[in-house]
Amino acid sequence: MERHGHHPEPISEVEARVRALESLLYEKGLITPEAVDTLVSAYESDIGPLNGARVVARAWVDPDYKRRLLEDGTRAIAELGFGGMQGEHMVVVENTPTVHNVVVCTLCSCYPWPVLGLPPVWYKSAPYRSRMVIEPRAVLREFGTEIPEEVEIRVWDSSAEVRYLVLPERPEGTEGLSEEELAQLVTRDAMIGVAKVKAPAAAR
Amino acid sequence: MNGIHDLGGMHGFGPVTVEADEPVFHADWEKTVFAGFAQLAGQGLFNLDEFRHAIERMGNARYLTSSYYEHWLSAYETLLVEKGIVDGEELRRRASQLSEDPESIPRPQPQGDERLAPRVRTLIQRGASTARRVEAPPRFRVGDRVVTRVTNPRGHTRLPRYIRGKRGTVEMVHGAFVLPDTNSRLEGENPQYVYSVRFEADEVWGEHADGGRSAIYVDLWESYLEPAAEAGRAR
């Protein structure tokens, strides 16, 4: 490698700002690489929508659990070992043939991390946050989710420190599936409320 | 404050764009920024409400043209400089030096506090609830008709603009939580009951053309609400 006249890869303005702040905070001992790794690996590897899917699948197969889940979401979710940062106070709202629930945060991007992981970019975006409260049907249609006129849409604007999880309807034709198989069907989008859970044949 | 962050009900942002197979982080710098919050707030350098307010203060145009984790970065810069934890001049000097030559400041080989990682792990697992016990009973009960205050505070608030001056029905009493309006200014936690209030779409948007029934549920602190003067009849 030629050392002389070596030009390192240029970095963006934001990367330079991050590196600058990072270097100062490392020097002051206010952040550590171990803590960074702990946080990043937790949300990259351990905490994601499969947690929420397990909650939903359990509720589908166990009516008693479902009752507890709708009564006290935080406690019932903790029964499966999930909870913590940005899920300290959970409310679970149930979709039925007459009610469809969907979650948004118009003021920032509040999201139930312990059960869904970190939010996707679209959830944090201006179009989603501005439009979901004023034209939920139009936004849902963009996600391919058609909600009939007579079905009431409930939009949950998580403006405080309570986080919402949608309990989707169990699709028809899944009677023979195990709890584990059911969990595999449940998507992040269905638990935000922008999609429905599809039966295996239609899920492909 | 009536900032651009308060997006509910605005027009003109176009369709929702969904990225297929989106990764949790899009770049390494996002990981650094994401991991900053739990460490810095976890050590008490700022609270969640200060952090949100710092994002709101970044400027409306910049807010819209920068990404989510840039919002976080901007809040760290603002708060750490305001609190004198980081020198603003030094921060700018290093950023411009790194822009010129990214290798001019080596990636750190730090010996930070080794207790920080376990503390952060505990925070992930247990969270940091802002629920508080208050002696007084809740002012409102499930089924009560309420109206949100018309107010335009310059500071931080969690009363979205689109819902101010609207009538709704209390659906849930969540318990008492730290009040963001004062906590963001370090003027005390002032815990108050938070209510899930249901607003009919027609009440909020008037001539509403979304083509069907809908309602919005917003979580609101007690001081954002007044009893509705109308003859009280639950929906």
DSSP output for A145-204: ----TTSEEEEEE--SS-EEEEEPPPPTT-TT--HHHHHHH--HHHHHTSS-PPPHHHH-
Residue of chain A whose alpha carbon sits nearest to that of B21: A120
Structure token digits, residue B121: 């792990």
Please confirm, yes or no, whether A12 is among the known catalytic residues. no
Q: Choosing from A108, A125, A130, A178, which is the catalytic residue?
A: A108
Mean pLDDT of A63-69: 98
pLDDT at A23 (0 to 100): 94
Residue of B32, B148, B198 to mutate, interface with A, max A Cβ within 10 Å: B32
Min Cα–Cα distance to chain A from B214, Å: 4
How far apart CA B8 and CA A157 sit, in angstroms, is 9
pLDDT band at B230 (very low <50, low <70, confident <90, very high): low
**Residue B89 has what DSSP assignment?**
H
- For tokens 């139930």, name the residue: A112
How far apart CA B149 and CA B156 sit, in angstroms, is 15
Mean pLDDT of A148-167: 97
Query: What Rg do the C-alpha atoms of chain A give, in angstroms?
Result: 21
Q: Are A154 and B214 in contact (CB < 8 Å)?
A: yes
pLDDT band at B127 (very low <50, low <70, confident <90, very high): very high
pLDDT band at B145 (very low <50, low <70, confident <90, very high): very high
pLDDT at A2 (0 to 100): 45
pLDDT band at A134 (very low <50, low <70, confident <90, very high): very high
pLDDT at B164 (0 to 100): 98
Asked whether the CA dihedral B8, B4, B47, B189 is positive or negative, the reply is negative
How far apart CA A153 and CA A143 sit, in angstroms, is 15
Mean pLDDT of B151-157: 97
How open is the CA angle A157-B50-B130, to the nearest 5 degrees? 60
pLDDT at A200 (0 to 100): 87
What is residue B234's three-state secondary structure? coil
pLDDT at B113 (0 to 100): 82
pLDDT at B110 (0 to 100): 62
pLDDT band at A26 (very low <50, low <70, confident <90, very high): very high
ipTM value for the complex: 0.95
Cross-chain CB nearest to B13 (options A89, A130, A161) = A130
Computed over every residue of chain A, the mean pLDDT equals 94
pTM score: 0.95
Backbone angles phi, psi at A37, to 5 degrees: -60, -40
Residue of A104, A109, A124, A133 to mutate, interface with B, max B Cβ within 10 Å: A133
How far apart CA B151 and CA B93 sit, in angstroms, is 41
Task: Say yes or no to pLDDT of B234 above 60.
Answer: no
Mean pLDDT of B118-144: 97
pLDDT band at B51 (very low <50, low <70, confident <90, very high): very high
Q: Which residue in B10, B43, B13, B16 sits closest to B205, CA to CA?
A: B10
